[in-house]
């Protein structure tokens, strides 16, 4: 189920957002025409665009995205395309393609996808029965009220794909409170559901203080602190890699300018001996 969930996630995460049905239809037609062997690349592109901003959420989403790094048989790629066409036919880009995050938060796409794919025995074992949106709305109205503070926090210790947060964020937006100023932390035992929550957090744009931890809330009381530590490490790694890429790009620009001026590129100095090189 990681592959179909990842295909839906990649379409929902596609970084070019716009308002209006015309754009969603154009993008739908574009993706529908893509041949099967291009789909892993599409998934990698959508992933990379978000990794730059939130490497921690993309790392949590890896169980449904990392298959796109591997080689696949034509049969599997045919199936990947069939999943993509089904998601497109059912309007995935109409639900997730708007530039306004409130308009992308109308539905818990990853909940529908993951619970539909899961074997019912596994669902029963996990107790994976997500709160229906109407009930979640009623609970939010009671818990958050009509005058929510501009800054606060919510924690979900068995969060599924984050449907309760979706409704809470919409509740805040309707009352002119920006969910990006709140802290959202979700914990989930199942790696695929945690991956779905991480994807949802990006679609719903819950902001810089939104984190997801995959683990057991009952036996791992420090999951929140761990998720903050992992995030700091991944941000540092991202900064280092982006810094190196920027340096390489600057060198290339200089070499190209020298080439345009007819100056041949300087050769690197030859090493004198193995000892001095060391
Ligand atoms: C009934 S669902 C509720 C999901 C969400 N809170 C909602 O209301 O829609 C329970 C979720 O808790 C997760 N879960 C079960 N035991 C857990 C544990 N010990 N630690 C973290 N998550 C757990 C399951 O995988 C499942 O996704």
Picking from 93, 123, 114, the residue whose alpha carbon sits closest to that of residue 19 is 93
CB-ligand 1 contact for 219 (6 Å cutoff): no
CB-ligand 1 contact for 164 (6 Å cutoff): yes
What's the pLDDT band for 140 if we cut at 50, 70, 90?
Answer: confident
Kindly tell me if the per-residue pLDDT of 122 is higher than 90. Answer: no
Residue 224 Cα, ligand 1 centroid: separation in angstroms? Answer: 16
The Cα–Cα gap between 137 and 152 comes to: 18
Best mutation site among 160, 162, 191 for ligand 1 pocket (most ligand atoms within 8 Å of CB): 160
CB-ligand 1 contact for 108 (6 Å cutoff): no
Residues making up the chain, counted from first to last: 278
CB-ligand 1 contact for 167 (6 Å cutoff): no
Q: What integer is the mean pLDDT of 218-233?
A: 96
Return the structure tokens found at 119: 């074997």
What's the pLDDT band for 141 if we cut at 50, 70, 90?
Answer: confident
| Bridge pairing between strands 183-188 and 210-214 | parallel
Return the structure tokens found at 237: 């790694």
Ligand 1 atom showing the smallest separation from residue 160 Cα: 27
Q: Which residues contact 202 (CB under 8 A, 6 or more apart)?
A: 13, 50, 54, 57
Q: Is 165 exposed, middle or buried (0-12, 13-18, 19+ CB in 10 A)?
A: buried
Write out pLDDT tens, residues 172-210: 999 999 999 999 999 999 999 999 999 999 999 999 999
Owner of token pair 């744009």: 205
CB-ligand 1 contact for 2 (6 Å cutoff): no
Kindly tell me if the per-residue pLDDT of 32 is higher than 60. Answer: yes
How many Cβ atoms from other residues are within 10 Å of residue 74's Cβ?
A: 9
Residue 186 Cα, ligand 1 centroid: separation in angstroms? Answer: 10
How many Cβ atoms from other residues are within 10 Å of residue 126's Cβ?
A: 17
Ligand 1 atom showing the smallest separation from residue 136 Cα: 8
pLDDT, position 155? 96
Picking from 97, 134, 116, 84, the residue whose alpha carbon sits closest to that of residue 193 is 116
The Cα–Cα gap between 233 and 89 comes to: 39
Residue 222 Cα, ligand 1 centroid: separation in angstroms? Answer: 17
Residue 86 Cα, ligand 1 centroid: separation in angstroms? Answer: 28
Rounded to the nearest integer, the mean pLDDT of the chain is 93
Alpha carbon distances (Å) from 257 to 232, 263, 265: 37, 9, 10
CB-ligand 1 contact for 218 (6 Å cutoff): yes
What's the pLDDT band for 276 if we cut at 50, 70, 90?
Answer: very low
pLDDT, position 277? 43
The Cα–Cα gap between 225 and 65 comes to: 25
Question: What angle separates helix 2-13 from helix 109-117, to the nearest 10 degrees?
Answer: 170
**H or E stretch at 185:** strand 183-188
Give the three-class secondary structure for 208: coil
Selected residue with higher pLDDT from 209 and 137 = 209
CB-ligand 1 contact for 160 (6 Å cutoff): yes
Residue 129 Cα, ligand 1 centroid: separation in angstroms? Answer: 8
Ligand 1 atom showing the smallest separation from residue 187 Cα: 21
Q: Which long-range contacts (CB under 8 A, 24 or more apart) does 16-25 make?
A: 17/97, 17/98, 17/99, 17/104, 18/97, 18/98, 18/99, 19/98, 19/99, 19/100, 19/103, 21/94, 23/97, 24/91, 24/93, 24/94, 24/97
pLDDT, position 138? 87
pLDDT, position 278? 40
Domain residues of the chain, as ranges? 2-230
CB 80 within 8 A of CB 255: no
Ligand 1 atom showing the smallest separation from residue 130 Cα: 9
């Amino acid at each position: 189920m990681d592959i179909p969930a990842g295909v839906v996630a990649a379409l929902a995460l596609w970084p070019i957002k716009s308002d209006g049905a015309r754009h969603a239809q154009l993008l739908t037609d574009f993706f529908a025409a893509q041949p099967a062997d291009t789909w892993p690349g599409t998934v990698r592109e959508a992933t990379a665009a978000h990794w730059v901003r939130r490497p921690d959420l993309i790392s949590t989403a890896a169980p449904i995205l990392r298959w796109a790094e591997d080689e696949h048989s034509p049969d599997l790629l045919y199936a990947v395309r069939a999943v993509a066409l089904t998601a497109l036919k059912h309007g995935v880009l109409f639900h997730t393609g708007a530039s306004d995050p409130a308009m992308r938060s109308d539905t818990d796409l990853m909940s529908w996808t993951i619970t539909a794919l899961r074997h019912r025995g596994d669902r029963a074992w996990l107790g994976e029965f997500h709160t229906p949106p109407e009930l979640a709305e009623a609970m939010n109205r009671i818990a958050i009220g009509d005058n929510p503070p501009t800054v606060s926090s919510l924690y979900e210790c068995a969060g599924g794909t984050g449907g309760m947060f979706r409704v809470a964020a919409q509740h805040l937006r309707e009352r002119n409170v920006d969910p990006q100023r709140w802290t959202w932390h979700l914990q989930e035992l199942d790696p695929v559901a945690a991956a779905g929550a991480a994807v949802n957090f990006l679609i719903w744009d819950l902001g810089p203080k939104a984190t997801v931890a995959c683990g057991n809330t009952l036996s791992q009381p420090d999951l929140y602190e761990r998720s903050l530590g992992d995030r700091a490490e991944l941000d540092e790694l991202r900064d280092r890699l982006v810094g190196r890429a920027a340096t390489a790009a600057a060198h290339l620009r200089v070499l190209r300018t020298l080439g345009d001026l007819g100056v041949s590129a300087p050769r690197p100095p030859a090493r004198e001996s193995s000892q001095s090189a060391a």
